[in-house]
Amino acid sequence: LGKNWANHIIIYETHAFVTKGLYSIVRHPLYSSIMLMFYGASLAFSNYMVIVLTSIIFIPFMNYRAKQEEEELLKIFPEYKEYKKRVWRFFPKIIRRNK
């Protein structure tokens, strides 16, 4: 994310639309990794309540925030609409449709 990182949703004047690297397979790799860390830690410590809480609180919050970010990105980068069709939000697209 580099200079594009912020604690709150903001589009910087120098914001770049990146579709290479991890962004070529998932739109929000940071959120994906945090989700996997929460699930992994809960399994490692056999804390099944954290799995439940992550599923009903944290994941919906991440989805809500990602949708808000995407709405802002669509205002600045019209090509983001096509990108959303090609690349899934949190996890790599496994099933490919033939055109």
User: Per-residue pLDDT tens for 39-88?
Assistant: 999 999 999 999 999 999 999 999 999 999 999 999 999 999 999 999 99
Work out whether the CA dihedral 21, 91, 65, 67 comes out positive or negative.
Answer: positive
Gap between the Cα atoms of 76 and 74, Å rounded? 5
4 CB-near residues (< 8 Å, 6+ apart): 12, 15, 16
Question: Which pTM was predicted?
Answer: 0.80
10 vs 45: which has the higher pLDDT: 45
95 vs 28: which has the higher pLDDT: 28
| Radius of gyration over every alpha carbon of the chain, rounded to an integer in angstroms | 15
19 CB-near residues (< 8 Å, 6+ apart): 83, 87
10 has a pLDDT exceeding 90:
no
pLDDT score of 16: 84
